[in-house]
């Protein structure tokens, strides 16, 4: 991932609803979610959700698959891995044990923001 790709991803995530959508899709894992489910889970209207999903798609943070008349969305884990790798590339000034602590803290952590935990 280059600087421009990272800036695009951060720009897409710099809005509350898009950040919540992305985190929700990360939590949904490989099953993903259809657009209507995402909107219902977050209390967002369909046209607003569509616009937000479009921004996330353009940034490469989500991907989608058509299923008949619906569209299922997934977090793009390759882009997410690239973004995290970009951020951590020069981690911890030669002290890998510090990087391990950061990675351990985020690995497979249960998403609790849906229940209102804004400190996650």
What's the token pair of residue 6?
């990272």
115 vs 11: which has the higher pLDDT: 11
Which fold, 3-115? Arc Repressor Mutant, subunit A (1.10.10)
pTM of the model: 0.82
pLDDT band at 62 (very low <50, low <70, confident <90, very high): very high
Asked if residues 82 and 89 have their Cβ atoms less than 8 Å apart, the reply is: no
* Structure-block tokens of residue 48: 């607003």
Q: How confident is the model at residue 11 (pLDDT cuts 50, 70, 90)?
A: very high
Q: How far is CA 99 from CA 24, 64, 78, 110, in A?
A: 25, 32, 20, 20
31 burial level (CB within 10 Å; 0-12, 13-18, 19+): exposed
Q: In whole numbers, what is the pLDDT of the chain averaged over residues?
A: 87
| Spans of all domains in the chain | 3-115
What pLDDT is attached to residue 112? 47
Q: Measure Cα distances from 94 to 42, 100, 102 in Å.
A: 41, 12, 14
């Amino acid at each position: 991932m280059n600087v421009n790709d990272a800036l695009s991803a951060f720009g897409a995530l710099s809005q509350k609803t898009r950040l919540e959508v992305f985190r929700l899709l990360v939590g949904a894992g490989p099953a993903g979610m259809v657009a209507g489910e995402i909107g219902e889970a977050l209390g967002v209207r369909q046209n607003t959700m569509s616009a937000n999903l479009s921004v996330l798609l353009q940034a490469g943070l989500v991907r989608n698959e058509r299923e008949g008349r619906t569209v299922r969305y997934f977090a793009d884990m390759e882009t997410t891995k690239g973004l995290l790798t970009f951020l951590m590339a020069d981690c911890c000034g030669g002290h890998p044990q510090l990087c391990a602590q950061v990675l351990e803290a985020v690995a497979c952590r249960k998403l609790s923001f849906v229940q209102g935990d804004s400190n996650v």
